[in-house]
């Protein structure tokens, strides 16, 4: 009976007894033996344009790629140097899982052997066990080494100061570059000014900036390279923490950059080794379209590199906004993600305010959707236009001479702002429409908002939601407390429900008062007003 003795340089042996855990003699034997080239049977069938392809692994690959090795037990290929000196930065496909995709083998092998990690490991293997030919006792050699180390320390110190300046600008969202970055500029950008300020406090950096002919650290190319390096280090630190975490959750939202291109924002939450909850922004993810398939494909592709197959069970939660494309139970993004990561349960993102959620929920009613659309139009009309806002300030100052300056907030409190200043806004729009000092587009929009603010349905919904939204804001603020628990949540939810019921019970009186008030305002006008019954029917749809 033949006894199967495992080779020291085989993939199975190197996995069971890692290279770093072996004796020096054992390591030298593995290096001398080189990569193991067993007989492996990898077959792959594929279909492309009605043609069937049958691929089989050829042993000629071992002679083409000297770093290649294989495992006959799993019929997969590995990288021999990376398997020996594997680290957290190593590609798991070539060091742990193995590669068996023959269709893309050439592409994957080329990409891997050009990677920095592979080249470092190959160099480390080549130099392992060699004796340094430099004579360590030579005085000139030691002096040269000492000078080299001093120069390295100096360069590291200079680079650390420049990196600190980049970090400072990033922390306070300050632009790194300005319009004129020349040496003679009297108004340099913030980054250049910050580097000069630090140099005034640091003799080494000051001397470097005055004497260096290359790599002053202030060019845009160096800035971009530093940012890329910092991003790479930061991502690696986050991935290292994720690998040691027991549970992970993700938050994903869609945003638009300055070039109006939509992209996904990926935020990762997990508990670190110190048992503290960490929330890390990981990256922006580009996607082709706003469909569930496109978003899910882009997200799953990124998650596969963050959580490999053996760590899929770690993902226990996925959070999005309330959009149907994200939360859909059959074809939404959350369902497609859960099909791959079965433990990833969907939770509504806590960062979205309840008043916005309520707006989305009630917007399935056509008239309510039109109301919020018109309301958002008023906000957009004054956004980024000091001239239009100035007219509104003058109207308020004329009506309320002793009133303090109003801080117009058309973002988080739109309903409250428009309700409390609807008469001021109406007069402002009439002034803009009739003044003749604005362009035709502004005049036309102002005329449209005059008709909107005089519309009974709009004014009714404005007052109705003005009664509801304060209770939503109170509930939202209470839910954000760190000391919240299930009993407290149940109590405040009951209180919120009771308050909404009170508003519902007061609808007949409220609708009657609004109808009477609207009739008086429309006296002398031919436009039809809504009666109490019609108003109550609209309000009932909302509840």
How far apart, in Å, are the Cα atoms of 337 and each of 255, 289, 302, 491?
Answer: 20, 17, 12, 34
Listed as own residue / partner, the contacts of 440-448 with beta carbons closer than 8 Å and 24 or more positions apart are 442/388, 445/377, 445/381, 446/381
* Cα angle: 240, vertex 244, 249; to 5 degrees: 90
Q: Which residues is 315 bridged to in the sheet?
A: 248
- Give, in order, the Cα–Cα distances in Å from 434 to each of 291, 334, 336, 375: 44, 51, 54, 22
Helix locations, 114-247, DSSP H: 116-127, 139-171, 190-201, 203-211, 220-244
C-alpha–C-alpha distance, residues 212 and 117, integer Å: 31
Q: What is the pLDDT of residue 403?
A: 38
Q: Rounded to the nearest 10 degrees, how much is the dihedral formed by the CA atoms of 470, 415, 399, 452?
A: -150
- Cα angle at 403 between 400 and 407, to 5 degrees? 115
Specify the CATH architecture of the domain 245-352.
2-Layer Sandwich (3.30)
Whole-angstrom distance, CA of residue 507 vs CA of residue 500: 11
Strands 262-271 and 277-286: antiparallel
Instruction: Tell me the β-bridge partners of 56.
Output: 43
Residue 252 near residue 318, CB atoms below 8 Å? yes
Q: What local confidence, expressed as pLDDT, does residue 391 receive?
A: 82
pLDDT tens over the chain, length 543 residues:
444 567 888 888 888 888 888 888 888 999 998 898 888 888 877 776 667 778 888 888 888 888 999 998 888 999 999 999 988 788 888 888 888 888 888 888 899 988 989 999 999 888 887 755 555 556 777 788 889 999 999 999 999 999 999 899 888 888 887 666 666 666 667 888 888 899 999 999 899 888 887 777 677 788 888 888 988 999 999 999 999 999 999 999 887 666 667 788 999 999 988 888 899 999 998 887 778 888 899 999 999 989 988 889 999 999 887 666 776 777 888 899 999 999 999 887 765 666 666 666 666 678 888 888 888 888 778 776 788 878 878 776 654 444 344 444 444 477 888 888 888 888 888 988 988 888 889 899 989 999 999 988 888 888 888 888 888 888 888 877 777 788 888 899 899 899 988 888 887 776 666 555 555 555 444 444 555 555 556 555 555
Q: Please tell me whether residue 278 adopts helix, strand or coil conformation.
A: strand
pLDDT of residue 65: 87
Query: Of 271, 268, 293, nearest to 280 (Cα)?
Result: 268
pLDDT at residue 131 in the model: 57
Phi, psi of 526 (to 5 degrees): -80, -15
Q: Say what the pLDDT of residue 500 is.
A: 86
> Which residues, 6 or more positions from 541, have their beta carbon under 8 angstroms from its beta carbon?
365, 367, 368
Residue 470 and residue 187: Cα distance in Å, rounded?
Answer: 48
Q: What is the pLDDT of residue 87?
A: 82
Sequence-distant contacts of 324-330: CB under 8 A, at least 24 apart: 325/290, 325/291, 325/292, 325/295, 326/252, 326/292, 326/295, 328/292
Q: Where are the domains of the chain?
A: 11-127, 141-218, 245-352, 357-542
**For residue 27, which of 129, 95, 126 has the smallest C-alpha distance?**
129
Q: Name all contacts of 293-302 with Cβ < 8 Å and 24+ positions apart.
A: 293/336, 295/254, 295/264, 295/325, 295/326, 295/333, 296/333, 296/336, 296/337, 298/264, 299/252, 299/264, 299/266, 299/333, 299/337, 300/336, 300/337, 300/340, 302/266
CA distance 89 to 220: 28
What is the model's pLDDT at position 399? Answer: 45
Whole-angstrom CA distances from 25 to 10, 21, 128 are: 17, 12, 12
């Amino acid at each position: 009976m033949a006894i199967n003795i495992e080779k020291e340089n085989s993939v199975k042996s190197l996995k069971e007894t890692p290279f770093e855990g072996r004796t020096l003699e054992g390591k030298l034997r593995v290096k001398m033996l080189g990569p193991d080239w067993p007989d492996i049977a990898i077959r792959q069938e594929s279909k492309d344009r009605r043609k069937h392809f049958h691929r089989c692994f050829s042993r000629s690959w071992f002679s083409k790629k000297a770093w290649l090795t294989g495992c006959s037990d799993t019929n997969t290929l590995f990288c021999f140097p990376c398997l020996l000196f594997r680290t957290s930065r190593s590609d798991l496909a070539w060091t742990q899982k193995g590669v068996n995709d023959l269709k893309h083998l050439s592409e994957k092998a080329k990409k891997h052997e050009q990677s920095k990690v592979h080249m470092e490991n190959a160099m480390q293997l080549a130099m392992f066990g060699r004796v340094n030919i430099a004579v360590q006792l030579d005085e000139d050699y030691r002096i040269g080494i000492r000078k080299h180390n001093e120069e390295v320390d100096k360069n590291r110190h200079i680079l650390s100061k420049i990196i600190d300046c980049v970090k400072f600008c990033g922390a306070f969202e300050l632009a790194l570059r300005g319009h004129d970055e020349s040496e003679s500029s009297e108004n340099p950008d913030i980054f250049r000014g910050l580097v000069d300020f630090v140099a005034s406090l640091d003799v080494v950096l000051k001397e470097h900036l005055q004497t260096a002919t290359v790599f002053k650290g202030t060019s845009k190319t160096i800035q971009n390279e530093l940012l890329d390096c910092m991003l790479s280090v930061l991502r690696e630190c986050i991935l290292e923490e994720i690998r040691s975490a027991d549970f992970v959750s993700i938050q994903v939202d869609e945003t638009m950059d300055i070039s109006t291109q939509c992209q996904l924002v990926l935020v990762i939450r997990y508990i670190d080794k110190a048992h503290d909850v960490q929330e890390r922004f990981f990256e922006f993810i580009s996607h082709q379209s706003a469909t569930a398939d496109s978003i899910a494909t882009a997200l799953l592709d990124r998650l596969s590199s963050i959580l490999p197959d053996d760590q899929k069970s770690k993902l226990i939660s996925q959070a999005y906004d309330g959009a149907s494309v994200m939360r859909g139970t059959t074809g939404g993004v959350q369902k497609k993600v859960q099909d791959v990561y079965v433990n990833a349960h969907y939770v509504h993102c806590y960062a979205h305010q309840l008043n916005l959620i309520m707006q989305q929920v009630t917007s399935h009613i056509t008239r309510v959707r039109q109301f919020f659309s018109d309301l958002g139009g008023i906000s957009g009309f004054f956004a980024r236009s000091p001239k239009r806002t100035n007219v509104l300030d003058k109207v308020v100052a004329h009506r309320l001479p002793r009133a303090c300056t109003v801080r117009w907030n058309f973002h988080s409190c739109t309903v409250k702002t428009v309700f409390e200043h609807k008469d001021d806004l109406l007069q402002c729009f009439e002034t803009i429409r009739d003044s003749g000092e604005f362009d035709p587009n502004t005049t036309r929009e102002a005329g449209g908002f005059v008709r909107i603010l005089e519309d009974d349905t709009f004014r009714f919904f404005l007052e109705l939601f003005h009664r509801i939204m304060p209770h939503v804001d109170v509930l939202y603020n209470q839910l954000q407390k760190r000391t919240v628990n299930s009993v407290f949540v149940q109590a405040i939810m009951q209180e919120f429900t009771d308050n909404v019921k009170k508003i519902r019970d007061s609808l007949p009186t409220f609708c009657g008062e609004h109808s009477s008030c609207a009739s008086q305002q429309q006296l002398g006008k031919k436009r039809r007003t809504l009666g109490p019954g019609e108003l109550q029917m609209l309000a009932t749809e909302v509840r």
